[in-house]
Amino acid sequence: MMEKRVISLCDGVIRDENRRFRTPMNFSMNRGEQIAVIGVNGSGKSLLADLLEGSLPLRSGELTYDLPGSGHFAAEGIRRLAFSDAYGAADGDYYYQQRWNASDLENAPLVGELLREAGFDADLSKRWAERLSLEEMLPKRVVSLSSGELRKFLIAKSLSGGGRVLIVESPFIGLDREARTTLRELFASLAEEGVQFVLMVSSPEDIPPFITHVYTIEDRTIGPKQTLAEFRHSERFSALRREKRELYDANPPRLPAPQNRAGEWDEVARLRNVTIRYGDRTVLHALDWTVRRGEKWALLGGNGSGKTTLLSLVSADNPMAYAHDIVLFDRPRGSGESIWDIKRRIGYVSPEMHRSYTKPVAAEEVVASGFFDSVGLYRRPSEEQLAICRDWMHTFQADRLVGRLFTRLSSGEQRLLLLARAFVKDPQLLILDEPLHGLDGPKKELARGIIDAFCEREGKTLIYVTHYENELPACIDRRLVLPRRG
């Protein structure tokens, strides 16, 4: 008996030759199947997702659907949650530092309002929201959400839209351990209720047990469909599992030459009795924290615990710093030093920053913007600066991205550029907020090796945020754990 096809892509060739796969594309999802698509950064996972949701026209081949309530050639029953949505589309036009601007914060929509517009009042949607622990987020402004909270909001919104097939890219990015477990359980229960998933992942560890079949993508070529058991016994699975830290311990990355002398200050940051509130919500309470020159800190805590708010005080992005006892690079805030004087000593990457790069600018311009601490490039870099940009792109194995538009790159390729951006100034303080988001296994190990090598330089200070203990660089020697306050 022939299995019932839900999605069928037969010998598909994308019309845009710049986005075309190397061979005609074949993909099928039968009724009851749950599929994971696994591949490294830039392999073509996002292109396949574009095609399956119907946003990329074909030059040849055929893409058909058989979904309840949908036309034979229409994808009304498909919902997609892309990695990029976690950094932009949730709240319209977004700009860097928007969440710290009080007037814009007051005018931003509430989470509860947007979920109700998406059908949140339905009983099933309420159950989903309860499983994702969204109740405490309902009265918050969307623009004030942490990256992990925003991820959960977008998942709930997508589920409320009535989709029968959900395409989810990097489903567990930005979520703490508890939220990742909750989301896996939620997906599994939805699968039992008849929802089908296509999960786009970079690591075997991100394939949940409820998945029934796996496609691998390598260099814009789709492999054959395998059962989950077949994939786990395949050579590709073994290769993906072999990426260990030792890969770069034996051959450490070579960094561009230092550009700056070590700073002479003692206290890179000192916060005394700092309390931050937004309305009735306390984000940070009576916090005391001192970061001295040369220390390497892990900043840890669950989604919504205030990590991003704390970093915004240290990086001079949050104007609330002026109302508190905060010292940066041995100088009290408000003593005459501008935010640009502070920022020139800091290299920074974060989901907040990634979320703000929404315009189609060239890859090397994204990296060069790090010299000027701008989101986008508004000054012409010197030839020396451009050479340094190319050196750091080479270090991060991103040479091939020169000349390509940022918005046409995969999430992992974008993150490599933003990492290179953080290093171009040879900064005294590195603030890396979930820096390995979207990277595949080898690229994570490469980035971690670069961070460790950079932090061996005299006087370099590091603040590193992650929800994954195994992603911490070896150089970390101190920890601050923030409690979640709701």
Domain boundaries, the chain: 5-241, 267-481
Distances 210 to 76, 78, 170, 190, 368 between C-alpha atoms, Å: 24, 19, 16, 10, 43
CATH of 5-241, one of 3.40.50.300, 3.40.50.720, 3.40.640.10, 3.40.309.10: 3.40.50.300
The partner residues of 152 in beta bridges, in order of sequence, read none
How many whole angstroms separate alpha carbon 152 and alpha carbon 154?
5
Per-residue pLDDT in tens (0 to 9) along the chain, 486 residues = 457 889 999 999 999 998 999 999 999 999 999 999 999 888 999 899 999 988 889 999 999 988 765 544 456 778 888 755 444 444 444 445 545 554 455 667 888 888 877 776 655 566 666 767 777 788 887 777 766 677 778 777 777 766 689 899 888 887 788 878 888 888 898 899 888 999 999 888 899 999 999 999 999 999 999 999 999 998 888 777 665 444 444 466 889 999 988 888 999 999 999 999 877 778 899 999 999 999 999 999 988 888 988 999 999 888 888 889 999 999 998 787 888 889 999 999 988 788 788 888 899 999 999 999 888 777 888 999 999 999 999 999 999 999 999 988 888 899 999 999 999 999 999 999 999 988 888 899 999 999 999 999 999 999 999 998 889 999 999 999 999 765
How many whole angstroms separate alpha carbon 415 and alpha carbon 384?
23
Q: Which two tokens stand for residue 337?
A: 């030093």
- Residue 434's Cβ-side half-sphere holds a number of Cα atoms within 13 Å equal to 24
Q: Which two tokens stand for residue 5?
A: 């096809």
Give the residue from 310, 306, 304, 277 showing the smallest Cα distance to 291: 310
Q: Where are the beta strands (DSSP E) in 279-351?
A: 281-292, 296-300, 325-328, 331-332, 346-349
How many whole angstroms separate alpha carbon 20 and alpha carbon 43?
12
Write a three-state SS string for 80-96.
EECHHHHHCHHHCCCCC
pLDDT, residue 429, reads 97
Complete edge-to-edge strand list for the sheet that includes strand 196-201: 78-81, 165-169, 196-201, 35-38, 213-216, 226-227
**Residues contacting 7, CB < 8 A, separation 6+:** 27, 28, 29, 52, 63, 64, 65, 165
Query: Is the separation of the CB atoms in 467 and 308 below 8 Å?
Result: no
- Residue 332's Cβ-side half-sphere holds a number of Cα atoms within 13 Å equal to 7
Helix (H) or strand (E) holding 186: helix 177-192
- Return the CATH class of domain 267-481: alpha beta
Domains 5-241 and 267-481 share a fold: yes
pLDDT, residue 88, reads 44
**Amino acid in position 271:** L
**Amino acid in position 440:** D
Q: Which two tokens stand for residue 393?
A: 């792109």
Length of the chain: 486
The end-to-end CA distance of the chain, in Å, is: 53
pLDDT, residue 86, reads 45
pLDDT, residue 49, reads 92
- Residue 369's Cβ-side half-sphere holds a number of Cα atoms within 13 Å equal to 21
Could you count the other beta carbons within 10 Å of the beta carbon of residue 116? 14
Tell me the whole-structure pTM to 2 decimals.
Answer: 0.82
How many whole angstroms separate alpha carbon 299 and alpha carbon 297?
6
Residue with tokens 């890219």: 169
Q: Which two tokens stand for residue 254?
A: 């070579």
